[in-house]
Structures are given as C-alpha cells and as structure tokens.
Structure 1
C-alpha cells in the first residue's frame, strides 16, 4: 500500500488550496453531490488534471466539500467542469497566491495584443479568479470582508488593463500624445470614478460596476481639446464593450454609467468643468450620498483625486444638513414602493432593498455622514463597516449598535453572495420555492431550512429596529391634553383652554402668533412642506414651552428665531428627529435670552448641536483647533477666511454656552474654553492679516510680532460676553528701515497699520457679525501711545515708567499667538518685571487707592453686580495681583495667570490657610454665577425678573437648593472677602 505524504494529507483537508481546513458544507442532495464529483473527476481526467481527478475519486473533507459546492452552485459546477485546470493549479500554489498571480497577469501588457484577444484574456482570467473567490467564500477560509475586497480588486485590475490598452491604442493612432506610454494613465486626462460598491471596495459576487467617466481637456496628453469630448466618448464605448459584452468566454463585468450627471441628456464621458457645474447648480441629495463612495479606480487617478477634492464642498457641507435625513429617507421609501418592498418576510424577501436589508444599514451610515461629514472629516470614509466603527468612536451611535449592525451587515452580505453564487445572477431575492430556498440555506451552512429562516428573520428585525430608531420623530401631545386648532379667524375655545393648561398666560395672543406660522408669514414657512412639518411639530413645541414656566416668553423668542430663518424644512426635520434638541432649543428660548438672540441672529449655530459627543467630550484646545482647521479648509480669499472665523467663533461660543447651560462643563472649564477659542481664532486672524499685509507691503527684515493677551483673556477667564484686551508687541532687525514690498513702509507705520488691520479684521461688524470686541487700552501709555509697541519700548516702559496698576495688569499677561521665539523672550521679560523687588506697603496702598476710586466712579448696582460689588471679583483680582507683585505667591513649575490659581498658591505668610480657602471658594462661586449670567442675560441682570429656568440653572451651577439660599450665600461671601481684602491690603 502506497505511503501517504504530507501533501496527500494536506489535500484531504484543503490546506494546500486554502492554507487551512475547509468548513463542511451540507449538500442539498448527497447523491447529486457524488454524481457531480464524478463528473468533475471525468472532466479532470480528460484534460490531464490528474491530481484533481484523484482527489475527486477519493474520500476526504476536501472532496466532500467540493461535491457539495458542485451540487449547490450550477455556476461554479459549470466553471470547473469547463476548466478543471482552475482547481488543478491549487495543488502547487494556494488559492490566495493564485489570485495575486491572476491580477498580475491581467495588468501585464501583451505585445501586439488586439482588442478581441484582450477581451478573451480578460474573460478567462476574470472567470478563473471569480470562481476561486466564490470557492474560498463557501469554504469559510476567509471572512466576507476579504471576499468583497478581492472582488473589488479584481474589478480594479480589469478596468485598469482595459483603460491602459485603449490609451496606448489612442496614442499609437495619434489621437493622444501620452507623456509616458509605459505609464499611459498619467496625465492622460481620462478619469474613471468607481461608484457604489466598487468605489467602497464592497462588490458583491455578481455586482455590476458603477462608473462615472470624466475627462480634463487641459491634460497634457490631449492634443485637440475641442475634440476631446468625442474622443473620450468613443474610448468609453469601447471600454464598455471590452468589459460588458457577453461572448463565448462570458463577460468581464457588467458596466453601468447611469450615475453620471443627468444621464438622459449627457454623453458617456463629460468634461470635469461640466460635471462640477452640474453638481454645484443641480446636484441632488442622492447624488451627494453616491459621491461619498466615489473613488478614482482607473485612468488619470491624480486628476480624479483633484476632481473629488474640488467636489468636496458639495458633498461635505460646512453646515449640518438636517433635511438630508428626510430626503434620504424618502429615497428609501421610493425604493420600497418601486422595488416591491413589503413587510419583513423570508422567502421572496429582497436582502438588499427589503425592510431590514443591506440598504438600510448603508443608509443608516450614509445619512449621518451627509449630515455631519462636512464638519467631522472622520466620518467621510467609503466603507460601511469602517464607518460604523467611526460613528461609534465619535459617539454618534453606541458601541453596541455598531457591533450589532456590523455583524448583521456581514451576515446579510453572506446571504447575498450565496443567492448570487448559484447562477452568477445579479439577484438579491431569496427563492420562494422549496428547493431554491433550501439551496440557499445549505450554502449558508444550515441543514434545516427553519433554522436559516429564523436566523434571517431575526437579522432583518434587528436591522429594522436600528434603522427605525434613526428616524424617530418628536413625541406628540397626548389626546387627553385637548384640542389645538389654529385655523380660521375666531379663537377655538378648547384650544384656549389647552394653552392655558400648558402654562400660557396670553393664549389668544399665542393663537394669533402660531396662526401666522401656519399661514406662511415667514420665509421659513412659505413652502407647503415646511408648514406641514411645523404643524406636526407644534404640539411638542407648545408642551416644551409650557415646561419653561414662561411659556409666552419662550414662544415669542421662538417666533423671533423663526422670523430670521432663511428656510425651515431643515430645522423642522432636525427637531422632529431629535426630541432632545427640541427640548434644548426651548430651554434656550426660555432661560437664556442672550443665547436665544445668538440663535435668532445666526441660526446656523444650532448646527453644532447635532454632534453626539457635544455634551460628553471636553472642548479642550486640541479639540477646537481640529474643528477650526476643518472649518477653514478651502477658504480662498482673505475675506472668506475672516468670515469663516466669525462663523466658527459664534458657533463655538454658543456650543460652549450650551455645555455650560446643561451642566456638562463647569464654569472654570467654560472660562478656559472661551479663552482657548479666542486664542485660536484671533491667532488665525492675525496670520491672515500678516499674509494679506505682506502681499502689498512685503515684510520688515527680521520682523517678529506677538499678541499679548491681557485681562480675562490673559487669565483664561473669558465669559460669553467678554471683550478682549490685547497688546501687539513687535521687533525687527536694527538696520531695517523699510519693508520689502512694492509699497514699502517704515517699521513704525508698518506695525501700526498691521495692528489697525487686525482691529478691523477682529472687531469690524460684518454680515457674519464680529469676531470679538477689542480693547487695546492696556498698552503702554494707553490710548495716547502707539497701537503697536516695539519690544524695547515695552521693556523700557514697564521697567521705568509703568504705574503699579499697570504691573498689576501685567500679572495676567500671556502671549497668545505670533512668533514663538519672541513670545518666549516676552514671557521671560514679564516674569522678570513681576519679580522686581517692590515695597509691599506701597503696592498695597496703590491697589487700595485704585479700588476706592473704582467704587466711587463705578459703584455696584446691587449684590448681583459681582464684578464691582465690595467683596466681589475686583477685590479677589486685586488680592491675587498684589500677592504676585510683592512675591507672596509660592513658586510653581509654571507661571500662573489665572486668578483662582494664584489665590490657591498665596504664601501662608501673606494670608493664612483659612483666608485662602475663603478666597478660592469665593472665586468659584462668583465664576459659576457670572458665567451663567453673562451667558444667558443681555444687559443688566435683574434678579426680580429672572426666568424660572434661569434660576434653576444658577442653583445647579452653585449647588444651592433655592434662590434665597444663594442670595444669602452671596451676601456672606462678599462680606468675608471684603474683610480679608481690608485685612491683607489696608493693614
């Protein structure tokens, strides 16, 4: 008896073919499987595939698996019977290695090859690879992701081979002049974008390939730009014929060009400019969704990448697109209507388009990408499963939802492949007949039809639940609440009663106000669709207004907000699909007039509330910097960059405020974040101003400039309503007399003009608002001095001429942007100036004299005027600043500019531990109250006319049970602080 070798044993379990044992596959009929295996053995014998014939004649796990494959898949049976050598080759190399070699053979040009021979070669190689990928997929020796990547890579290779052939042919015939015929695609101007599953590298077993074909008439290879359209249309027709036509050898890939712009009236290949014009002027949401997956797959891939880069603003909008949810959902409903979609079923169910199918998972991902991808580049990926991971990482969905949908996606793709592997048909429908259904069940590895049906039905239900959750609508008022009728000229009595019950004090006025909404008085409600959505939303809105306990005020502010909206459909869609955002908007309208004004003036700020990580992710400097970089992406002109900065700053101030309003960040964190935002946006504005200045006036040799943040910006304690104190410090080569531009300026005028332009850029009002109100009065000599200060002049003034109060102000100074080396030098100078030895009594006397003067000239209005009130914020700041100047602050590793940090590090010799604790606690209390009041209130705060919702926010921020307790706490704190102030500075 012949001894069995390792190779024989490996052949028995399939490890030669697949590098691992195959998973058993139950046949539909055991006898049929044996007969099919016998047919393959005979075909192999006839065509000298002797090792395959021997395998088929024996009994082993691999031969049993192969018999099941042949009985279950007529397509694979036909492929292997026709060409047994496909399997014979696997005795000398693994299936994966053979696939790699096939791709290399596809891409290898053949000298003198004709178009018909190319068609034959591509069909044979693609057919072999196709069959091997199907075999590996059924063997479960690779996961489904590997299968779809292999299918996509195979399509890429076939496309590139055909395109290279056609480009070389056009070069040979003189139609093109390729810069490098050995690399025909480069600079050819012929762009092929893979769309859909090809673009995402997610092809199914029998996929069509969707292409958009473009050309760039300005490409170097094009000799006659006026004739380029006709040339590339002919080349595209030939490409389709090479790939698509069915011959005796089959076909390569069915090719679909209908995703191009306006396919009914445009040629097969269109110019880049025409495509860009179409998308910018007429592009639809479904086309935006399609472009998410677009990928250059063949031809001039660099030109394709440039085209997609230019198209980015169309696909990825800067503002979150609320209406995209409803629009994409309507596409889904149209597919349901036109593709026979019905209730969840098993037999006859469309695994791609049916309820709970693959398309719902894809739409689940793409909808959120459309809405948020413009602001979150992380969400711009093409692959469905990878984007589910990213959505979970960014907190748009839960980790559990992502894991569940990923598992179900791969399961449904498995089912789809097995439907298609039966006969290589582009079908997605499970058979209704018993034999057909059982065949799919066996291909899925199930011996019982009922088990497969149960698994499939459970998958559909789970997908449907997640998909439906994405389109939840806001809750409606209960029928028990009563009528809400706003038609006609006479108030409905039951509606008056309902509104009164909801907390409205002037129900008749509210009816007239709401009637105006539904009559289309505002731009936002002029379309029928907008009014329909607002009508559906109105009950939930009214209920939420009532919960503010100032229902009338909230409704009036919402009406003002509505009146300024350019359109309403997007917002109403957002609020319908996000009940929590509806409640938050109403809270803003009821509790925070300043924030409400912000939303009314700039409705786009509300976009940022769609970020699911808004209330969980701390908005630190890196977070803001990343968001700002994305937002400024693509800004071309100086004015556009400044407008984007204004928009970004307004939105982020609003979002920081919302975090504070909801308690997701505390007041000190809000102060630091407001300050980080100012640092970044003013820094970007400064860079833009410097660049714009240099275009006309050039630069001063050796010039360096730094913006020094003063006041609350320097101490990182900005509030929502703070203005910004700045000083611009500059330096340059000693011998520099003029700038080097075509309109030169001497240094003093240069930096004065630079500062004036910065002031205009930051604080001049525009249609996009202002960035910040600037105050430069803290510069040397105040308003009498130059707007920009030379470094030497700054040093001299601070060392010899500055008043004590100016040194006090300097304790909070901090470089926020500009030249880093000058910033370091300036920081060292400031430290040295503050550390100068001083007479403590003189410093204290100067500080108390200044405090007394402030009390006389700017007395506090009441105890809630926390900045000016005796024992208030100014007292705390003066104590910290005096301590810094007289050396009464304990050394730390890094210089502190924040008042709270300085107070916490006061030397025990200057103030005992009890006083320090009192001062730190006072600062925390004042900061909590001031941040909320500055965020919510416009103008002077009046405690007697405070919205109830605002009092709730204040109580939560200060951890006090009721307003009388908070009021008493303020009195006690102010008394204690003033006593400490007197004890430390007046004694």
Structure 2
C-alpha cells in the first residue's frame, strides 16, 4: 500500500505534549469515539492551542470523517467542495474551507503525518484556488455587466487576461501556517488595444473585490490577509497594472530586493499562460548573465536595516526572539540562498528554484556551497519553520516572535513535544548554528588584517591605486579599503613581493571603470590568493585577467575545479550560451566570453599544478575544437539566411598542425583548411544566390572573421590558413576534387607532412569520412621512396637557418628541439603510412614500421616531452622569448616545477643534452651527419 493510501491514524509519528491538562481531558472525552492515537493527538493539540480547540468543536463531525480517510484524499475533497460553490456561496465556502484546512493541516503537521513541504504545499494549494475563484468570479461579474470591453463569457476561463502572481512564500509553495499572501495583479494589455484604460479600471475593481472577499473578517472568519505592496512602485501605481508597465518598471528602476522577490514569483490564478510569458520577459532583470556580487552587499545592507528597524541587534535569547528576522532566523537562510541564486542563476538555470530547500540543494549540486552546509541549513530551516508554525497555531496569529513570559515559552515547548529546558537549549543551538553558517557570507571581511610595512616604492604604487578607473567610485573604494590589508599581506608571502606588487598594479590599472570585482573578492577571499598567485607567476596572465575580468565568473562557480568535461559537453555548453544571444553579433560576443572562461580555467589549473603541460595541451585543443564546432552552425545559419543553404554536399573544416594533433598551448593560433564538395551544384538557392566558389569563399571568410574579429569581448583565436593548397595564393576554400588533384599531382613533401596531422573537425559526416579515407590512402602512396627523406633533410636545413634557437631555455627552435622532433615524427608517420596524428603516436608508428629503434624512439620522445613542458609553461607566462636571468621568481619556480628540475642551470643543461641527443638521432634517420647545437644563440 502506498503511503498516500494509508489512513491518518496509520501515519502518526509524533504528538505535542498537553500544556493545559484540563482542556486536553475535555477534548479527549468529546472525541472518545476515535482510536486512542487520534483522540490523544486532538487532546494534546487542544491543550496547547485555544484556536485549534475551537475549530475541533466547530468542525467536529467533518473532522471525524476526514481523519478516517487518507489525508491527501480528505484535503482534495475539501478543495473540491470549495470549487463547487456558486458566486453567492463563495464567501462562506472560502471561509469554511479555510477553517477546515487550518485544522487539518495543523494536525498533519503536529502528528508528523506530512513533512513540512507537504504542509506548506497544502496551504499554498488552498490559497491558489481561493485567489483563482475570487478573480474569476469578479471578472465574470464585470463581463456580465458589460464593463470589460470586448470580453465574453468564454474569457472567464482565463480571467479576461488578468493574472495574479504569487510572491514570497506563496510563490515558493511555502506558506506558513498563518501567512498573509503577497500578490501582484497584472493584465495583458495586448488584449485591449485602444481600450486599455477601461480594461484597467475593470481589473482594478476585480482586484479590490478579490482582496475584500479574501481578507474581510465575517462571522465565518477570514480566508487570507492579502498584501499587494510587492507590485512595482506600489506607492503610486494602481492595484492592478498592465504587464507592459510592470516590465518597463523592472527594466528601468528595478532594485536588488525586487530581483530577489521575483525569484519566487509564480502565476497562481487567472491567465496562467500570460503570467508565464510575463515572467519570461523578466529573466534578464532577475538573472544577470554575469556574476553579480554587488547583490551580496545589497542583501547585507537590507538585512542590517531590518535588524536596526526592528531593534533586533541584541544578545541572543529565547524570550522575545524574532524567529523570522532575528539573528540566526529563517530570513538569514532565505537571504543566504536567494543571494547566491541571484549571483549565479543567470549563468546556470538549474539554480533558479523557487523553494528555499530546493535552492540550497541546487547550489550544493553545482558546488556553490558545500554539501554538509546545505544539509545543515535544510535541517535548520525545517526546524525553524516548525517552531514558527506552532507560534502561529496558538491563536492563528501572523507572528514570528517567541513569547516574553516563561509560561508561554513552556507552552510552545510542549507544542513542539519537548520539555522547557530541552526546547530552550535546542532552539538557541539552532539559532547559533544558523548565524555561524550564514554570517560569514554576509559579512565576509571579518577582522581586518594588519597591513605589512611597505618600502617607499611600494607605498607609492599602493597610493596610486585610488586613481585607477575601477577604484574611482565610492563603493569600490569603500570595499577596497577593507580588502587592501588582505592583498598586501598575501603579497608579502610571495617569492618576490616587489615583483608581485608590480604585476598586481598592472592588473588593477587595467580594470575598467564600474567593474564589480572587489565585491567579488570580498565575498570570496580565496580569489585574492589566486590573483596574487597569478601576479607572482605570470604578469602577462594578470594583464590578460584585467582586460577580461569576467572570466573570474567561472572561478567561483562550483564547477571550476570539477573534472574536465570533454569536447561533446563543451560543444553543448558553448552552443547553449550562444543560443541565448538575440542576434549574430551577440552570439559571437557570447562565444568569446564563454571561451575565455574555459581558457582561463585551463591556465589556472596548469599554473597551480592541478594539471601538467600535456593535460593542459589536450584541454586547450578540446576547447578550440569545441569553439569551432559550436560556432560553425551559427556561421552556417547566418550564411543560409543571406544566401541560402550550403550547396552540394557542404563543407568540412580540417584542423591542421597542433590543432589536428590535439595539443595546443596557451598562445596557439589555429591552422585550418576548408574543403567543400559542390556535387554538381552551380550556385546557392537563397534570397541572394551566390555561385559555388564565391559562396564557399564567403563562408570560409565568415568563419575566420567569427574567430578572429576584435569585438567588444575581444577575439577568439588567430587563424592561419597557409596550409591550404597553394598557400596564400590559393582560394580560401578548396573544392574536394581540386584538393585531391593537387595533393596527388602538385603538392610538395612538406604539404604531405602537414596532412599527417590533418583532422576533420566539423562538417557533413560522409564528407568528413571521405576526406579521412583519402588522407590515409595518399600517405600510403606519397610516403614511399628516398625523395621523402631528402626533401625533409633540405627543409630541416632551411629551418635551422631561418629559425635558430634563442637562449638557454629555448624549447621550440633549433636542432633536436620541439619543431625538429615534430618534423621527424611527421616524416615517420608519412613513410610508415600511419594515421597517427600526435607526436608520440607518430614516433611509435615509426618504431613499429622498423624505421626507428626502441632506444632512438625513447630519445626523441623524452626530448619532445621535456621541450613541450617548457614550451607550454613559457607560453602561459609570456609571448616573448624567455630569459631565465630576468624571469620573475614565481615564473621561474613554475617552469622548474613543471619540468622537475632543481634550478635554472640544471634545466638549461638538460635542454642542451636532450637537444643534442635528439638532433643526432634525427640526423642519422635523414641520412646526414649528426647535428649538434651549432644553431643555438646563447
């Protein structure tokens, strides 16, 4: 039997303790016909609550029947009876339903029959239905009297375009036991063009009639106290306003507290579809695309104002404590949850849960808060709400304040099933734990750190910070004054504090005006460590960060240190970000923001030793592939819009060089080739048709522009297309047959070598497969004969002259170094007809084909891996040639850590020796004398 089919008595798990034994005994006698567990629950409840005792006596016959059924069925029947009332009966029917619901939900709560969420959900269902019946009855009356222009009886089902938004706890489905209900009443003005004024007057009458129907106290009681003050600019606007007017208000002057309120907004009555459309228009207002840490300060200020206004800043005590607004209370947990949702919900829709418990769990799932903090706050929230309910059940009062007299505290303790001492101790403990968990978030600065002594040069640098654009506002200066000791203390711990200070100065100087970065640092002190770490290691990365501060959005997202998602997940993520942008240019800017966040993440992980150079190389390549894969459909769609769909079989983008081999460094550009197959088509079919060749040339140029154009968010990558047939002289897009013909009859050996690393990235699957098959067949044909080795030897000799090694830590150029080993690996792949693209795999292929001994393979592989580690580390630090003598201490330590060397001299020696060994092997393989390091310029 399912739990919902079990009767009330079978699901009892707890009961209060009777505070008034005489009253309890009287009620027990009145309900002696019920099973002992039920009569005992009623007696103990009545002994704590005069309000519930009166309801038991008033609704006794109904209660007996309700308690004999499954609780859910009994409550559904209660709502059904209310729905069946005629307009003349509605007022009495609503009040009868409210009395019975109040009694029944209280017993479900007190008896542990329903968990908190089911109790508050039932109260919310009652409120939803009461509001819906009230406004539809009012709209029906307006239509009957001909006062709602153009409306007919058919419009009653949608309340003539009027919708009521439930706000606060009602919107979240979390109504407390004696809640008032916060409502915003709107109407869809698009249904009343030209007669909007008359429609507004009609809906205002409906709204006033609804509030009277729900709130007026009659002989039958009241239904719900209604509050309409959460509507836009409530002091001057009518009680029901048009959706267009509300949207205009939020877009122009909406404040942080209104954004927080809208998190819980939910259409609850009337035209629900129109209400959903309206809330969709508010998404940009509520959910900002960039992390909004100023919301923390706004929430903190609001919280302090509430405490001051209500004089709640006093020592924590049970007597008179406000369980909602006081220290460690319900509002602390709600603010904690909502503020974090506001900060990150614009980027992650999974955080947009209306409920407090659901919001906390979503934040934990996305690693915005630790799971143990989530679990504890959920438990505390539920406990606070249960005590709140019992405060309200005593006299059906909308109160959150604990009594000030000891006997009344004892009654609440009994109502909670505890003795006085246990209740007091437990409550104070829960309030203290809540305050401890939430206070640090709202007051993150804590105790100010002592400022270390500064040299005169350092003092001059620090004093100049006040003039920087990002620090000119009063708010930024106020926050930064609190942060400065933390910055300087952490700088003092750097390997070279003065060097790190200069880099930090460059970072701060480059920040634009209006940036909210300092509120972000205050809320996340660990970011200060990250910034100092970057400044002390890579001044270039610090300068990049100042120009692209929004990449820090991703750092505080809980997924920043999660496992790498891989290409498929990255493509989906990038495509989703671009899909949210309204037009082509905005999509390209969205792609730039998205790419930079991931690119920065890889750099930070590498810098901090979470990944090594090879993992970073794969991640950078994954990201570049994902950018192209996510961007390609956007570029194609724009081309299709202008000139029609891709003619023929479409096109394929080939990744060449390091991208094809799936290993890039932080500063890599992208080598690309675009190949298309017209399949007999002569032109496109669209608004402005283009001939085949110009069509694909424009498509290619559009892709290159999408990647390289300097927009508001910068560029994505530099692109090199010189590996296409005929290089710079050839067309930017190559027809498939021309590509085949060129490679078979005209291409030089170096072009065949380039194909060893070619990899189809995007395009039609059949065409991609065909190109890969051709690549493999071509390599088997063109890799034979001694001409290959002699061509490579000549090419190698030219490269040594054109690009000699520079400096003792040179990794890329020179005999036996990175480019030399890569060239040898491509050669071995070509002569072995191996499809392998990565350097190590190509070297292994040479060994399997007996072109390379095991020992020589180890020499080349070891050299390549050492040089790659240096190259990847250097490119994260600088775009220039690196000189260990002038390199910063932090940067030098990073490179040494990456290579496992003890000091700069050891690394230089290892590089020289590895290069000499590799050059000797390469020279032997190509049939020449062993090359030394004669090309180096130390």
Same fold flag (TM > 0.5): yes
| 2:336–2:441 contact (8 Å) kept in structure 1 | yes
- Change in 2 beyond 3 A, CA 1:775/1:354: same
1:794 maps to 2:766? no
CA distance in 2, matches of 1:91, 1:471: 46
* Partner in structure 1 of residue 864 of structure 2: 923
* Partner in structure 1 of residue 837 of structure 2: 897
Match of 2:459 among 506, 511, 530: 511
Match of 1:525 among 456, 471, 482: 471
CA distance in 2, matches of 1:629, 1:459: 45
| 1:22–1:61 contact (8 Å) kept in structure 2 | no
| 2:27–2:43 contact (8 Å) kept in structure 1 | yes
Match of 2:509 among 563, 576, 599: 563
| 2:32–2:39 contact (8 Å) kept in structure 1 | no
Give a deviation string over 1:464-512, Cα, whole Å, max 9, x none. Answer: 1111232464587755x66xxxxxxxxxxxxxxx21xxxxxxx333323
* Partner in structure 1 of residue 27 of structure 2: 36
* Partner in structure 2 of residue 488 of structure 1: none
- Change in 2 beyond 3 A, CA 1:237/1:918: farther
* Partner in structure 1 of residue 124 of structure 2: 152
1:582 maps to 2:516? no
CA distance in 1, matches of 2:301, 2:67: 52
1:298 maps to 2:289? no
| 2:649–2:767 contact (8 Å) kept in structure 1 | no
- For residues 328-407 of structure 1, the aligned pairs below 5 Å read 328-341=299-312, 342-407=314-379
1:265 maps to 2:206? no
Q: TM-score, normalised by structure 2?
A: 0.93
- Change in 2 beyond 3 A, CA 1:350/1:474: closer
- Change in 2 beyond 3 A, CA 1:706/1:177: farther
* Partner in structure 1 of residue 934 of structure 2: none
CA distance in 1, matches of 2:635, 2:447: 51
* Partner in structure 1 of residue 920 of structure 2: 979
1:316 maps to 2:300? no
State the shift of 1:631 in Å: 2.9
* Partner in structure 2 of residue 20 of structure 1: 11
* Partner in structure 2 of residue 227 of structure 1: 198
1:443 maps to 2:443? no
* Partner in structure 2 of residue 769 of structure 1: 714
| 1:18–1:95 contact (8 Å) kept in structure 2 | no
* Partner in structure 2 of residue 3 of structure 1: none
State the shift of 1:651 in Å: 2.9
1:72 maps to 2:48? yes
Q: Which moved more, 1:848-857 or 1:811-820?
A: 811-820
| 1:323–1:569 contact (8 Å) kept in structure 2 | no
| 2:648–2:679 contact (8 Å) kept in structure 1 | yes
CA distance in 1, matches of 2:337, 2:564: 25
Q: Which moved more, 1:349-358 or 1:751-760?
A: 751-760
CA distance in 2, matches of 1:828, 1:305: 52
Q: Which moved more, 1:191-200 or 1:620-629?
A: 620-629
CA distance in 2, matches of 1:133, 1:274: 39
CA distance in 2, matches of 1:283, 1:130: 36
Q: Secondary structure at the match of 1:210?
A: strand
| 1:598–1:654 contact (8 Å) kept in structure 2 | no
CA distance in 2, matches of 1:781, 1:742: 33
1:751 maps to 2:696? yes
Q: Secondary structure at the match of 1:364?
A: helix
| 2:575–2:630 contact (8 Å) kept in structure 1 | no
State the shift of 1:623 in Å: 4.6
- For residues 196-207 of structure 1, the aligned pairs below 5 Å read 196-207=168-179
- The unaligned stretches of length 5 or more in structure 2 are 929-938
**Number of residue equivalences:** 922
State the shift of 1:436 in Å: 1.4
Q: Secondary structure at the match of 2:89?
A: helix
1:289 maps to 2:265? no
Q: Secondary structure at the match of 2:786?
A: helix
1:643 maps to 2:622? no
- Change in 2 beyond 3 A, CA 1:928/1:226: farther
State the shift of 1:177 in Å: 7.6
* Partner in structure 1 of residue 73 of structure 2: 97
| 2:139–2:203 contact (8 Å) kept in structure 1 | no
CA distance in 2, matches of 1:608, 1:846: 48
| 2:749–2:791 contact (8 Å) kept in structure 1 | yes
CA distance in 2, matches of 1:61, 1:134: 16
- Change in 2 beyond 3 A, CA 1:934/1:536: same
State the shift of 1:826 in Å: 2.3
Q: Which moved more, 1:673-682 or 1:459-468?
A: 673-682
| 1:593–1:938 contact (8 Å) kept in structure 2 | no
Give a deviation string over 1:24-78, Cα, whole Å, max 9, x none. Answer: 432113233102334xx2xxxxxxxxxx5623xxx82221221111111112111
State the shift of 1:296 in Å: 1.7
- Change in 2 beyond 3 A, CA 1:462/1:554: same
CA distance in 2, matches of 1:631, 1:328: 28
| 2:51–2:396 contact (8 Å) kept in structure 1 | yes
Q: Which moved more, 1:766-775 or 1:98-107?
A: 98-107
| 1:344–1:356 contact (8 Å) kept in structure 2 | no
| 1:343–1:355 contact (8 Å) kept in structure 2 | no
CA distance in 1, matches of 2:655, 2:721: 10
Give a deviation string over 1:662-714, Cα, whole Å, max 9, x none. Answer: 12222222222222222222333332232222223223543512211111111
State the shift of 1:773 in Å: 0.9
CA distance in 1, matches of 2:547, 2:155: 55
- Change in 2 beyond 3 A, CA 1:698/1:574: same
CA distance in 2, matches of 1:926, 1:178: 79
State the shift of 1:182 in Å: 6.3
| 1:616–1:664 contact (8 Å) kept in structure 2 | no
* Partner in structure 1 of residue 874 of structure 2: 933
| 1:350–1:430 contact (8 Å) kept in structure 2 | yes
1:418 maps to 2:390? yes
CA distance in 2, matches of 1:350, 1:78: 27
| 2:45–2:52 contact (8 Å) kept in structure 1 | yes
Q: Secondary structure at the match of 1:75?
A: helix
CA distance in 1, matches of 2:711, 2:553: 21
- Change in 2 beyond 3 A, CA 1:986/1:375: farther
- Change in 2 beyond 3 A, CA 1:239/1:961: farther
Q: Secondary structure at the match of 1:945?
A: coil
- For residues 760-909 of structure 1, the aligned pairs below 5 Å read 760-836=705-781, 838-887=783-832, 889=834, 896-904=836-844, 906-908=846-848, 909=850
| 2:836–2:845 contact (8 Å) kept in structure 1 | no
Match of 1:678 among 615, 620, 624: 624
* Partner in structure 2 of residue 731 of structure 1: 677
CA distance in 1, matches of 2:448, 2:125: 54
* Partner in structure 2 of residue 490 of structure 1: none
| 1:888–1:907 contact (8 Å) kept in structure 2 | no
CA distance in 1, matches of 2:698, 2:638: 12
- Change in 2 beyond 3 A, CA 1:677/1:180: farther
Q: Secondary structure at the match of 2:781?
A: coil
Give a deviation string over 1:513-537, Cα, whole Å, max 9, x none. Answer: 322334xx23322222322222222
Q: Secondary structure at the match of 1:836?
A: helix
Q: Secondary structure at the match of 1:705?
A: strand
Match of 1:969 among 898, 910, 919: 910
- Change in 2 beyond 3 A, CA 1:945/1:97: same
| 2:9–2:37 contact (8 Å) kept in structure 1 | no
- For residues 117-132 of structure 1, the aligned pairs below 5 Å read 117-132=89-104
Match of 1:192 among 157, 161, 164: 164
State the shift of 1:135 in Å: 0.7
- Change in 2 beyond 3 A, CA 1:118/1:729: same
| 1:431–1:437 contact (8 Å) kept in structure 2 | yes
CA distance in 2, matches of 1:650, 1:21: 56
1:715 maps to 2:655? no
